[in-house]
């Protein structure tokens, strides 16, 4: 069947001539006299290093790794709502900064009839068919496969298509929504081609190759460079993305990005785009994070994260000046909850955590990522400043509470006509956020709570005039307000600075 023009377009490449002006004089006349002896001597002492030449072809790398890349096809569980068929997470910016919120797109989904591979490729949508497509890669000879959590979330069944066109059943071994990673296992026995995760991080400017299943076109290869590292796009609590400019589109989710040595340096997860198509802003989960998460998923089917038990905030320039610090670096402790590992180790409000096991900590989020990447029960050495003096503490990490519940439904969506706030909540006492109220763990940037300025880290103390200590109590008060015919629910909220305010949040109801 011929592809419909509005589904598949050819993009013309425009050539742009770039003129470089070199050593022009004051009158605009080119400087033609030879360089001075002093300048020539300085060049001989400090030669300019030229970067490595780009490869003449990526074919050898592709031939080596392509057999280990798979297309992932998912049949969705009946609980998946209509929004899922637009792509998991699409339109749910997941706390994306305002400047990116409109353009951020999740791209793992491309079900038939939903702007995915079914349109124009001879794959008509059958009545009642609900599916998603993405990418993945095999990491072991016995058939373990890495992909994105949002590709297989709510999966009723999963299949993978290999490079040799075999389609095999797979089962979900474990998922980690916080990093958007999932581990699958091919159920059929045998030996499979596989690829390896890189043990070293790529440099900005390194060449990379992405292979995946964009729009159902399996085995598609694109190339580019690493544009940046350490990107925080607000997709989750442990953002540390590689930014790459290799073209990535819907269906590439969960697929690998390789270095020129054929090692996986990242898992393609998100794009920023005004159209949903590639504009050269793609984000990949670094191999180091993938390795740590996959090891736990393979062993336990879940991820347990280290828990320190402190509320922290960034050290701004003003705070650094107030504390007498030379640089605005580290994580400032707002509060160490009684009975937590941090409190037991003697950490107090006002301490500035500078390093973990000798690794410098630049800001509060980096501390969270570092601690979460260490297994519970491990002992870590913290270096911190107190009263202008440096000290150390040995802390045995606890287990990060994982029973986070949601008021309404995940990511602020709602079902069965129930009102939703767009909040992910947990008891404050269980996450080191104080002894009263319910802590806001995540905020749907498009939800009604975000519109009223509620942010991650806020504590909800009262809802509709009644104190709350559990997410279920928040949900119950919200339902009661909606049942009584109210258009909004009044909350008393405390922010990270301890300032308390009343907020009236509009009640949105599922359609």
Q: Residue 410's pLDDT is what?
A: 33
Q: Is 85 helix (H, G, I), strand (E, B) or coil?
A: helix
Q: What is the DSSP letter of 23?
A: S
How far apart are alpha carbons 137 and 313 in whole angstroms?
37
Terminal CA-CA length for the chain: 36
Instruction: Quote the pLDDT of residue 489.
Output: 80
3-state secondary structure of 69: strand
Please give the domain boundaries of the chain with CATH numbers for all domains: 65-300 (2.40.10.120), 306-399 (2.30.42.10), 405-509 (2.30.42.10)
Give pLDDT, residue 28. Answer: 33
DSSP 411: G
**H or E element: which one contains 509?**
strand 508-509
The Cα–Cα gap between 380 and 368 comes to 14
| Active site positions, annotated | 150, 180, 253
Task: For residue 73, give the nearest of 226, 184, 230 by alpha carbon.
Answer: 184
Q: How far apart are CA 467 and CA 462, in angstroms?
A: 4
What is the residue whose two structure tokens read 């500035």? 352
Structure token digits, residue 176: 């980690």
pLDDT of residue 100: 39
What counts of helices (H) and strands (E) characterise the chain? 10, 30
pLDDT value, residue 94 = 36
Within 13 Å and on the Cβ side, how many CA atoms surround 282?
34
- What does the pLDDT profile of the chain (511 residues) look like in tens digits? 444 333 333 333 332 222 332 233 333 333 334 444 554 444 444 444 445 556 789 999 999 999 999 999 999 876 554 333 334 333 333 333 433 333 344 443 333 333 332 222 223 333 344 678 999 999 999 999 999 999 999 899 999 999 999 999 999 999 998 899 999 999 999 999 999 999 999 999 999 999 999 999 999 999 999 999 988 877 767 788 999 999 999 899 999 999 999 999 999 998 887 777 778 889 999 999 999 999 999 999 988 888 898 888 888 887 887 777 888 899 988 778 788 899 999 998 889 999 999 999 988 888 988 898 888 999 999 999 998 889 999 999 998 765 343 333 333 333 334 457 888 888 888 777 788 899 998 887 777 888 888 998 899 998 888 899 998 889 888 888 888 777 778 888 998 888 888 788 887 654 3
b/e code 82-101 from CB counts within 10 Å (16+ = b): eebbbbbbbebbbbbeeebb
Show the tokens assigned to 310.
Answer: 């402190």
User: What pLDDT score was predicted for residue 53?
Assistant: 56
Q: What DSSP designation does 36 have? A: P
The Cα–Cα gap between 208 and 289 comes to 18
| Pairing relationship of beta strands 389-396 and 466-467 according to DSSP bridges | unpaired
- pTM here? 0.62
* Cα distances (angstroms) measured from residue 444 to each of 372, 377, 472: 22, 32, 18
Structure token pair of residue 484: 């009584």
Determine how many CB atoms are found less than 10 A away from the CB of residue 370.
20
pLDDT in the model for residue 316: 82
Closest CA to 104 of 343, 273, 226, 288: 273
Would you mind telling me the total number of residues written for the chain in this entry?
511
Kind and range of the H or E run holding 473: helix 471-483
What pLDDT is attached to residue 90?
A: 36
């Amino acid at each position: 069947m011929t592809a419909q023009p509005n589904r598949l377009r050819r993009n013309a490449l425009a050539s742009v001539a770039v003129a470089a002006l070199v050593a022009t004089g004051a009158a605009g006349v080119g400087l033609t006299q030879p360089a001075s002896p002093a300048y020539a001597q300085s060049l001989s002492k400090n030669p300019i290093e030229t970067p490595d030449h780009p490869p003449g072809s990526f074919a050898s790398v592709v031939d080596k790794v392509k057999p280990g890349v798979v297309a992932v096809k998912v049949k969705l569980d009946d609980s998946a709502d209509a929004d899922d068929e637009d792509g998991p997470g699409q339109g749910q910016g997941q706390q994306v900064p305002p400047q990116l919120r409109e353009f951020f797109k999740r791209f793992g989904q491309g079900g038939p009839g939903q702007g995915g591979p079914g349109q124009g490729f001879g794959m008509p949508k059958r009545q009642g068919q609900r599916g998603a497509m993405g990418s993945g890669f095999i990491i072991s000879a016995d058939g373990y496969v890495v992909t994105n959590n949002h590709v297989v979330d709510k999966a009723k069944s999963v299949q993978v298509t290999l490079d040799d066109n075999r389609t095999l059943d797979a089962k979900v071994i474990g998922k980690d929504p916080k990093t958007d990673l999932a581990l699958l296992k091919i159920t059929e026995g045998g030996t499979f081609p596989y690829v390896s995760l890189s043990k070293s991080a790529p440099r900005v400017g390194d060449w990379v190759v992405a292979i995946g299943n964009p729009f159902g076109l399996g085995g598609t290869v694109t190339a580019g460079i690493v544009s940046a590292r350490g990107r925080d796009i607000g997709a989750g609590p442990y953002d540390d993305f590689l930014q790459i400019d290799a073209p990535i589109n819907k269906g590439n989710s969960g697929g690998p990005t390789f270095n020129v040595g054929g090692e996986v340096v990242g898992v393609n997860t998100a794009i920023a785009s005004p159209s949903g198509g590639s504009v050269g802003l793609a984000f990949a989960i670094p191999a180091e994070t993938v390795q740590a998460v996959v090891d736990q998923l393979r062993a336990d089917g879940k991820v347990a994260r280290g828990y320190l038990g402190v509320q922290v905030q960034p050290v701004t320039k003003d705070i650094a000046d107030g504390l007498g610090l030379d640089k605005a670096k580290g994580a400032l402790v707002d509060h160490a909850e009684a009975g937590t590992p941090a409190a037991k180790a003697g950490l107090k409000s006002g301490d500035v955590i500078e390093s973990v096991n000798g690794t410098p900590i630049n800001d509060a989020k980096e501390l969270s990522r570092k601690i979460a990447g260490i297994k519970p029960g491990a002992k870590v050495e913290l270096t911190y400043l107190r009263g202008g003096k440096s000290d150390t503490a040995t802390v045995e990490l606890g287990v990060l509470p994982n029973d986070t519940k949601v008021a309404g439904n995940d990511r602020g969506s709602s079902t069965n006509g129930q009102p939703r706030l767009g909040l992910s909540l947990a008891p404050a006492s269980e996450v080191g956020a104080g002894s009263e109220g319910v802590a806001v763990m995540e905020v749907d940037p498009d939800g009604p709570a975000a519109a009223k300025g509620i942010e991650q880290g806020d504590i909800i103390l009262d809802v509709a005039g009644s104190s709350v200590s559990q997410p279920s109590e928040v949900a119950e008060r919200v339902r009661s307000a909606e049942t009584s015919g109210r258009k909004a629910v009044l909350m008393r909220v405390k922010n990270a600075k301890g300032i308390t305010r009343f907020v009236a949040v509009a009640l949105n109801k599922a359609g």
